[in-house]
């Protein structure tokens, strides 16, 4: 007779829904459940774990919302392949709801962008560096955009940083970085607007040029300073 998987052994009475969540996520962590695997139906899970079906249903609902599980009509519930944006939603809500989070958010953004730079230094290709130079050219051209130079510059700046994140070849880090940049959208837009209005676009362009050189020279020693110098100090002073 086949041995019962560890994650299907009966649970003790604690926070039952959380216990079901813990048992399933532990199984994923230890590879008892792998990406793409189908989990047992609710009645089987409930019986194996010794809990009510309603507890299993609620646990599955939470894990589905978090992007860990996915339900396929008429097929069942499966462990997701890869990462989804919704996995990071609770972190996003926590940052938004924390009214004292500005300094923490800025530190997180500086840390993630410096981290993405380190990954790009380790994993970039020469073709990607050429593409990054093209994004920098887009920023230069945006200054003279006849319609909306601020929007053109801001879009080029976003494209520049998105490419650095892609160069790191780490999807999870890329998604977290994009979430953090999304949370600082309004502040970054205000800073770009201010600096272009004050004819300081060259400062921004030169700061981004230094980031390219850091990647090209594989120089990670002064990344925090270089990342911050792109416009972090300006954003903090605008607060």
Q: Are residues 233 and 153 in the same domain?
A: yes
**Separation in Å, CA 139 to CA 135, 191, 194, 205, 208:** 6, 15, 16, 7, 10
- The answer to whether residues 137 and 227 belong to one domain is yes
**Tokens of residue 132, six digits:** 């990054």
User: Does 40 share its domain with 103?
Assistant: no
Query: Are residue 150 and residue 109 in the same domain, yes or no?
Result: yes
- CA angle 216–221–226, rounded 5-degree value: 75
Positive or negative torsion for Cα 121, 127, 128, 132: positive
Q: Mind spelling out the 3-state secondary structure of 62-82?
A: HHHHCCCEEEECCCEEEECCC
Check whether 238 has a pLDDT greater than 90.
Answer: no
Interatomic CA distance for residues 68 and 81, integer angstroms: 9
3-state DSSP call for residue 173?
helix
Ranges 16-20, 105-109, 127-131, most confident: 127-131
pLDDT tens digit sequence for 18-76: 889 888 988 888 889 998 999 999 999 999 999 999 999 988 988 887 778 988 888 99
Q: Is the pLDDT of residue 13 over 60?
A: no
Does residue 115 sit within a domain? yes
Q: Are residues 123 and 211 in the same domain?
A: yes
Query: pLDDT class for 77, splitting at 50, 70, 90?
Result: very high
- Boundary (domain end) residue, out of 54, 82, 110: 82
Q: What is the pLDDT of residues 156-187, one digit of tens each?
A: 999 999 999 999 999 888 888 887 887 788 88
Q: Is residue 58 assigned to a domain?
A: yes
- Domain finish residue from 82, 113, 134: 82
Domain assignment present for 35? yes
Structural domain tally of the chain?
A: 2
pTM over 0.75: no
Q: Where are the alpha helices (DSSP H) in the chain?
A: 16-29, 42-49, 53-65, 89-97, 102-123, 126-142, 149-167, 171-183, 185-197, 201-216, 223-229, 232-238
Q: 45 or 109: which carries more pLDDT confidence?
A: 45
Question: What is the chain's mean pLDDT, rounded?
Answer: 84
Q: Are residues 109 and 226 in the same domain?
A: yes
Clarify whether residues 229 and 215 are in a common domain: yes
Q: What is the pLDDT of residue 142?
A: 96
**Which of these three, 45, 67, 82, is where a domain ends?**
82
CB of 95 within 8 A of CB of 50? no
pLDDT score at 236? 47
Domain that holds residue 120: 87-238
């Amino acid at each position: 007779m086949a041995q019962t998987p560890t994650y299907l052994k009966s649970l003790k009475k604690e926070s039952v829904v959380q216990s079901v969540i813990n048992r399933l996520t532990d199984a994923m962590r230890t590879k008892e459940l792998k990406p793409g695997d189908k989990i047992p139906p609710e009645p089987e899970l409930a019986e194996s774990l010794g809990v009510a079906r309603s507890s299993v249903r609620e646990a599955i609902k939470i894990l589905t919302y978090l992007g860990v599980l996915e339900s396929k009509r008429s097929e069942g519930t499966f462990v997701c392949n890869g990462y989804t944006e919704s996995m990071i939603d609770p972190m996003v809500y926590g940052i938004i709801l924390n009214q004292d989070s500005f300094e923490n958010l800025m530190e997180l953004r500086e840390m993630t962008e410096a981290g993405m730079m380190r990954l790009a230094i380790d994993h970039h290709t020469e073709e990607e560096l050429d593409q990054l130079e093209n994004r920098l050219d887009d920023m230069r051209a945006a200054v003279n955009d006849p319609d909306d130079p601020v929007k053109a510059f801001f879009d080029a700046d976003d494209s520049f940083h998105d490419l650095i994140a892609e160069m790191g070849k780490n999807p999870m880090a890329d998604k977290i970085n994009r979430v953090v940049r999304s949370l600082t959208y309004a502040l970054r837009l205000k800073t770009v607007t201010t600096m272009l209005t004050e004819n300081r676009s060259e400062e921004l362009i030169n700061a981004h040029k230094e980031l390219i050189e850091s990647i090209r020279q594989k120089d990670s020693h002064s990344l925090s300073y270089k990342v911050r110098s792109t416009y972090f100090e300006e954003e903090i002073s605008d607060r």
